[in-house]
């Protein structure tokens, strides 16, 4: 599904400030896999996600999704395959628009935007049903500005919006870092549900060792721009928090 082939990313090459953010990284992620990525700050985790998303381009190597090489494509042209949930709940939404208007934009992410945003009764009902499943009591507030919601509410809605339109791969960059424990649990359980029920491939970056062990079916650790550990489902299930913390020692 996703093939990262000998990817390297070098900033300020040849200068005294040269940074090798990724060094000859190759990894394959299967369709429907839930991959969890851990590592210290600056280890290359977010650089990898940004290379997949298209906000930065690789120095060498290639990125392919569903058999199509996308390494050279700008971010907006990768939207048919890739969507993203950022660490900051404020990112990825239009704060002055209502919940339903934001969902309408998300549903049209890979196509043209029309002027009748959120006016279709069938679509409004669909949004209500999806929002109701969160258990946050927002289904009767879909005309409320999304910018007026709490961070946890907004992040859960952002995750739902990430899969409103067609997508093959959902990237999640520390999506619960700014959330309280209750909201974080809602977001992570929703991600797990999306993975299992919709079969959407997920790559999650997290600094929560608890979440790293509880969610996903594969675990990778980055260190100094390289993959230091790669555990399959069975190996991940037998891993303890103590052992995981020892990786960072």
pLDDT digits (tens, 9 = 90+) for 173-198: 999 998 999 999 999 999 999 999 99
What backbone phi and psi angles, to 5 degrees, belong to 82? -125, 135
Closest among 149, 218, 238 to 186, alpha carbons compared = 149
DSSP line for the chain: -EEEEEEEEEESTTSTT-EEEEEEEEEEE-TT-EEEEEE-TTSSHHHHHHHHHTSS--SEEEEEETTEE-TTS-GGGGTTTEEEE-SSTTTTS-TTSBHHHHHHHHHTTTS---S-TT--HHHHHHHHHHHHTTTSS-TT-TTSBGGGS-HHHHHHHHHHHTTTS--SEEEEESTTTTS-HHHHHHHHHHHHHHHHHH--EEEEE-S-HHHHHHS-SEEEEEETTEEEEEE-HHHHHT--HHHHHHTT-
Domain ranges of the chain: 2-97+151-246
Check residue 55 and give its pLDDT.
94
Tens of pLDDT, residues 22-49: 999 999 999 999 999 999 999 999 999 9
Domain 2-97+151-246 has CATH 3.40.50.300: yes
Residues 6 or more apart from 21 whose CB is under 8 A from it?
Answer: 9, 10, 11, 44, 47, 225
- The whole-model pTM stands at 0.92
Check residue 112 and give its pLDDT.
60
Check residue 90 and give its pLDDT.
83
Check residue 91 and give its pLDDT.
84
Residues in the chain with pLDDT < 70?
111-119
Check residue 43 and give its pLDDT.
95
């Amino acid at each position: 599904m996703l093939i990262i082939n000998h990817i390297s990313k070098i900033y300020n090459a040849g200068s005294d400030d040269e940074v090798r953010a990724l060094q000859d990284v190759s990894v394959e992620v299967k369709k429907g896999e839930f991959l969890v990525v851990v590592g210290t700050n600056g280890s290359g985790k977010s650089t990898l996600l940004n290379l997949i998303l298209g906000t930065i381009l690789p120095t060498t190597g290639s990125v392919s999704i569903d058999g199509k090489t996308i390494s050279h494509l700008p971010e907006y042209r990768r939207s048919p395959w890739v969507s993203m949930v950022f660490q900051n709940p404020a990112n990825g939404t239009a704060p002055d628009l209502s919940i339903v208007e934001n969902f309408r934009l998300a549903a049209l992410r890979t196509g043209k935007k029309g002027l009748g945003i959120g006016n279709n009764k069938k679509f409004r009902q669909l949004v209500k049903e999806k929002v109701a499943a969160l258990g946050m009591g927002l289904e009767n507030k879909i005309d409320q500005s999304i910018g007026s919601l709490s961070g946890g509410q907004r992040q859960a809605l952002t995750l739902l919006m990430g899969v409103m339109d067609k997508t093959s791969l959902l990237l999640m960059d520390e999506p619960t870092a700014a959330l309280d424990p209750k909201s974080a649990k809602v977001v992570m359980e929703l991600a797990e549900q999306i993975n299992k029920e919709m079969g959407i491939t997920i790559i999650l970056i997290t600094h929560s060792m608890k979440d790293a062990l509880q969610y996903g079916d594969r675990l990778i650790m980055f260190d100094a721009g390289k993959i230091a550990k790669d555990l399959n489902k069975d190996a991940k299930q037998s891993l303890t928090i103590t052992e995981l913390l020892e990786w960072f020692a």
